[in-house]
Amino acid sequence: MRVALLAAALALPTGCISVSETSPPAPSARCAVGEPMVETMLFLGMARPGGEVSETEFAHFIEAEVTPRWKEGYTILQGRGLWYSEQRRITESEASRVLVRFHDGGQAASSDIEAIRAAYIRNFTQDAVLRTDRPACADF
C-alpha cells in the first residue's frame, strides 16, 4: 500500500490540502469554467498476501461495490507505485488502480467513498486505501 502513498505524492500538485476521512473539502466558491465540485481519488494496491488481485476479481469488485454507488460516473487509471522497504532494504514495486470521481462534497458522497475503501480493504486484505480530496471546477 506504500505504493499508493508514493503514487499520490507524485500525482498531486504542490501545496497541501487538509483531508478528513469523513469530510471532504467544500467545493470552491468560484469557477471560471464549470461548477465547483470535489475531486476524490482512491489509490488501490493490487498486491496482497499470496499474490495479486486478478483482473477478474477487480472487475467484480468494481461491478459490485463501485458502480452501484457512483452511478453518475468515474474513471479508473492503471498505475505502478514504488516505495523503499526499510525491512528488505530494497525498492518495492506494485501495480495499482486509481479511481477518480467528481462529486458535490456532501456527506452522502463521502459515505459512499468510505464504503468502497472499507470493502477493498476487507476483500483484498489491504493495510489501507489512500483517499485524496481536493476542490475542483468541472464542466461536463
pLDDT (0 to 100) of residue 100: 98
Q: What is the pLDDT of residue 97?
A: 98
pLDDT digits (tens, 9 = 90+) for 14-37: 333 444 445 566 665 689 999 999
Mean pLDDT, all residues of the chain: 85
Structural domain boundaries in the chain: 2-10+45-138
> pLDDT at position 11, please?
44
Using an 8 Å Cβ cutoff, are 95 and 76 in contact?
A: no
| pTM of the entire predicted model | 0.79
Beta-bridge partner residues of 26:
none
Nearest Cα to Cα of residue 22 among 103, 108, 110, 128: 110
Residue whose grid cell is 489509490: 43
Counting as low any pLDDT under 50, the low residues of the chain are 1-21
User: Residue 85: enclosing H or E segment and its boundaries?
Assistant: strand 75-85
pLDDT at 28: 55
9 to 1, 16, 20, 86, 131: CA distances (angstroms) = 13, 11, 17, 19, 12
